[in-house]
Chain A
Amino acid sequence: GAVVSQHPSRVICKSGTSVKIECRSLDFQATTMFWYRQFPKQSLMLMATSNEGSKATYEQGVEKDKFLINHASLTLSTLTVTSAHPEDSSFYICSAREVSGGAGTDTQYFGPGTRLTVL
Chain B
Amino acid sequence: QKEVEQNSGPLSVPEGAIASLNCTYSDRGSQSFFWYRQYSGKSPELIMSIYSNGDKEDGRFTAQLNKASQYVSLLIRDSQPSDSATYLCAVGFGNEKLTFGTGTRLTIIP
Name A's B-contacting residues (CB within 8 A): 1, 32, 34, 43-44, 46, 49, 91, 93, 97, 102-113
Contact = CB atoms under 8 A, between A and B. Distances in A.
B88 interface: yes
A44 B46 contact: no
Contacts of A97: 95
Interface of B: 31-32, 34, 36, 41-46, 49, 51, 88, 90, 92-95, 97-98, 100, 102-103
B41 to A, nearest CB: 8
B34 A108 contact: yes
A44 B97 contact: no
Given A104-B31, A105-B32, A107-B34, A44 B44 contact: yes
A19 B14 CA distance: 44
Nearest to B36: A110
Contacts of A102: 51
